[in-house]
Amino acid sequence: MTRWSLKNIFRPVTHGQFVDYTNQFKQAAENSFGTECSIQIRALTQPKAYTTFWDDDIQSGLDAINEQNTILRTENLSDVTSEVWAKAGYVEVNVRPVDCDKAPDHAFGHAEFKGEKPRQATFYIQPNGDDAREAMVSSAKGKVIGDGFESNGSRSGAIPSGLASLGLRF
Protein backbone atom coordinates (compact mmCIF):
# COMPACT_ATOMS: atom_id res chain seq x y z
CA MET A 1 0.00 0.00 0.00
CA THR A 2 1.12 3.53 -0.70
CA ARG A 3 -0.21 6.73 0.86
CA TRP A 4 0.58 10.34 0.11
CA SER A 5 -0.93 13.79 0.28
CA LEU A 6 -0.61 17.01 -1.68
CA LYS A 7 -1.24 20.17 0.29
CA ASN A 8 -1.66 23.79 -0.70
CA ILE A 9 0.32 26.17 1.47
CA PHE A 10 -2.32 28.88 1.88
CA ARG A 11 -5.68 28.06 0.32
CA PRO A 12 -8.13 25.16 0.25
CA VAL A 13 -8.07 22.72 -2.66
CA THR A 14 -10.11 24.27 -5.46
CA HIS A 15 -12.67 22.62 -7.70
CA GLY A 16 -10.19 22.84 -10.58
CA GLN A 17 -7.50 21.12 -8.52
CA PHE A 18 -9.99 18.42 -7.52
CA VAL A 19 -10.76 17.71 -11.19
CA ASP A 20 -7.05 17.69 -12.12
CA TYR A 21 -6.05 15.51 -9.17
CA THR A 22 -8.88 13.06 -9.81
CA ASN A 23 -7.91 12.69 -13.47
CA GLN A 24 -4.24 12.25 -12.51
CA PHE A 25 -5.11 9.77 -9.78
CA LYS A 26 -7.26 7.66 -12.11
CA GLN A 27 -4.51 7.63 -14.75
CA ALA A 28 -1.84 6.78 -12.17
CA ALA A 29 -4.01 3.93 -10.82
CA GLU A 30 -4.58 2.59 -14.34
CA ASN A 31 -0.83 2.59 -14.95
CA SER A 32 -0.23 0.92 -11.58
CA PHE A 33 -2.95 -1.73 -12.05
CA GLY A 34 -2.28 -2.37 -15.74
CA THR A 35 -5.93 -1.94 -16.72
CA GLU A 36 -8.60 0.69 -17.19
CA CYS A 37 -10.28 1.88 -13.99
CA SER A 38 -13.68 3.20 -13.02
CA ILE A 39 -14.30 5.88 -10.44
CA GLN A 40 -17.00 6.32 -7.83
CA ILE A 41 -17.35 9.74 -6.24
CA ARG A 42 -19.31 10.63 -3.13
CA ALA A 43 -19.80 14.16 -1.82
CA LEU A 44 -20.98 14.72 1.75
CA THR A 45 -22.09 17.88 3.54
CA GLN A 46 -19.52 17.35 6.29
CA PRO A 47 -16.40 15.27 6.91
CA LYS A 48 -16.94 11.53 6.64
CA ALA A 49 -17.35 9.85 10.02
CA TYR A 50 -15.10 6.83 10.39
CA THR A 51 -13.36 4.59 12.87
CA THR A 52 -10.03 2.81 12.57
CA PHE A 53 -11.38 -0.49 13.90
CA TRP A 54 -14.27 -2.60 12.69
CA ASP A 55 -17.26 -3.26 14.90
CA ASP A 56 -20.55 -3.96 13.09
CA ASP A 57 -22.58 -2.13 15.75
CA ILE A 58 -20.51 1.04 15.48
CA GLN A 59 -20.04 0.82 11.71
CA SER A 60 -23.77 0.67 11.03
CA GLY A 61 -24.24 3.92 12.99
CA LEU A 62 -21.39 5.61 11.13
CA ASP A 63 -22.74 4.38 7.79
CA ALA A 64 -26.13 5.90 8.67
CA ILE A 65 -24.54 9.26 9.52
CA ASN A 66 -22.53 9.27 6.30
CA GLU A 67 -25.55 8.29 4.21
CA GLN A 68 -27.62 11.06 5.77
CA ASN A 69 -24.89 13.57 4.87
CA THR A 70 -24.42 12.35 1.27
CA ILE A 71 -25.41 14.93 -1.36
CA LEU A 72 -24.09 13.17 -4.47
CA ARG A 73 -22.98 9.74 -5.64
CA THR A 74 -21.71 9.45 -9.18
CA GLU A 75 -19.36 7.65 -11.53
CA ASN A 76 -18.90 10.79 -13.64
CA LEU A 77 -16.38 13.42 -12.64
CA SER A 78 -18.31 16.05 -14.61
CA ASP A 79 -21.28 15.60 -12.21
CA VAL A 80 -19.18 17.22 -9.47
CA THR A 81 -19.83 20.77 -10.61
CA SER A 82 -18.39 23.83 -8.92
CA GLU A 83 -21.79 24.25 -7.23
CA VAL A 84 -21.66 20.71 -5.78
CA TRP A 85 -18.03 21.32 -4.78
CA ALA A 86 -19.04 24.52 -2.93
CA LYS A 87 -21.79 22.67 -0.97
CA ALA A 88 -19.63 19.68 -0.10
CA GLY A 89 -17.82 19.40 3.20
CA TYR A 90 -15.98 16.23 2.12
CA VAL A 91 -15.48 14.43 -1.19
CA GLU A 92 -14.11 10.93 -1.69
CA VAL A 93 -13.04 9.23 -4.90
CA ASN A 94 -12.71 5.44 -5.17
CA VAL A 95 -10.84 3.96 -8.11
CA ARG A 96 -11.24 0.29 -9.03
CA PRO A 97 -9.89 -1.77 -11.93
CA VAL A 98 -12.44 -2.59 -14.64
CA ASP A 99 -10.73 -5.88 -15.51
CA CYS A 100 -9.90 -7.49 -12.17
CA ASP A 101 -8.17 -10.41 -13.89
CA LYS A 102 -5.48 -8.06 -15.25
CA ALA A 103 -5.06 -6.12 -12.01
CA PRO A 104 -3.19 -7.20 -8.87
CA ASP A 105 -5.29 -8.87 -6.17
CA HIS A 106 -7.28 -6.44 -4.00
CA ALA A 107 -6.34 -3.46 -6.18
CA PHE A 108 -8.08 -0.18 -5.41
CA GLY A 109 -7.41 3.49 -4.84
CA HIS A 110 -9.01 6.03 -2.55
CA ALA A 111 -8.69 9.83 -2.45
CA GLU A 112 -10.14 12.38 -0.01
CA PHE A 113 -10.72 16.09 -0.44
CA LYS A 114 -11.98 18.92 1.81
CA GLY A 115 -13.10 17.72 5.25
CA GLU A 116 -10.84 18.19 8.26
CA LYS A 117 -7.91 19.11 5.98
CA PRO A 118 -9.38 21.44 3.32
CA ARG A 119 -5.94 22.45 1.96
CA GLN A 120 -4.96 18.79 1.52
CA ALA A 121 -5.81 16.01 -0.92
CA THR A 122 -5.03 12.55 0.48
CA PHE A 123 -4.38 9.48 -1.71
CA TYR A 124 -4.10 5.74 -1.08
CA ILE A 125 -3.39 2.90 -3.51
CA GLN A 126 -2.99 -0.79 -2.82
CA PRO A 127 -1.31 -3.15 -3.22
CA ASN A 128 1.59 -0.99 -4.42
CA GLY A 129 1.20 2.55 -5.67
CA ASP A 130 4.78 3.80 -5.54
CA ASP A 131 4.73 4.54 -9.27
CA ALA A 132 1.37 6.33 -8.94
CA ARG A 133 2.70 8.41 -6.04
CA GLU A 134 5.82 9.33 -8.00
CA ALA A 135 3.79 10.35 -11.06
CA MET A 136 1.54 12.67 -9.07
CA VAL A 137 4.24 14.07 -6.77
CA SER A 138 6.59 14.86 -9.67
CA SER A 139 3.96 17.12 -11.26
CA ALA A 140 2.90 18.81 -7.99
CA LYS A 141 4.95 21.99 -8.10
CA GLY A 142 4.58 24.30 -5.11
CA LYS A 143 2.75 21.75 -2.96
CA VAL A 144 3.64 20.30 0.41
CA ILE A 145 4.10 16.55 -0.04
CA GLY A 146 2.92 14.47 2.92
CA ASP A 147 2.79 10.83 3.94
CA GLY A 148 -1.00 10.60 3.59
CA PHE A 149 -1.61 9.22 7.06
CA GLU A 150 -3.74 12.20 8.13
CA SER A 151 -7.28 11.57 6.93
CA ASN A 152 -9.62 14.32 5.79
CA GLY A 153 -12.45 12.50 7.57
CA SER A 154 -13.63 13.01 11.13
CA ARG A 155 -12.70 10.33 13.65
CA SER A 156 -13.35 12.10 16.94
CA GLY A 157 -16.84 13.07 18.01
CA ALA A 158 -18.39 11.29 15.04
CA ILE A 159 -19.61 8.21 16.86
CA PRO A 160 -23.33 8.41 17.65
CA SER A 161 -24.36 8.72 21.28
CA GLY A 162 -24.54 5.31 22.92
CA LEU A 163 -22.09 3.74 20.51
CA ALA A 164 -18.95 5.40 21.87
CA SER A 165 -18.63 2.95 24.74
CA LEU A 166 -18.61 0.06 22.28
CA GLY A 167 -15.42 1.41 20.74
CA LEU A 168 -13.50 0.84 23.95
CA ARG A 169 -13.85 -2.95 23.97
CA PHE A 170 -10.63 -4.94 23.58
pLDDT, tens digit, for every residue of 92-134?
A: 999 999 999 999 999 999 999 999 999 999 999 999 889 888 8
**Could you state, in order of their start, the residue ranges of all structural domains in the chain?**
1-116
The pTM is what?
0.84
For residue 168, what pLDDT band results from cuts at 50, 70 and 90? very low
Which percentage of the chain shows pLDDT scores above 90? 61
What is the 3-state secondary structure of 97-117? ECCCCCCCCCCEEEEEEECCC
First to last CA, the chain: 26
Handedness of CA 98, 51, 68, 85 (dihedral sign): negative
Other CB atoms within 10 Å distance of the CB of residue 158: 19
- Measured in whole angstroms, how far is the alpha carbon of residue 90 from the centre of its chain? 9
Residue 135 has pLDDT above 80, yes or no: yes
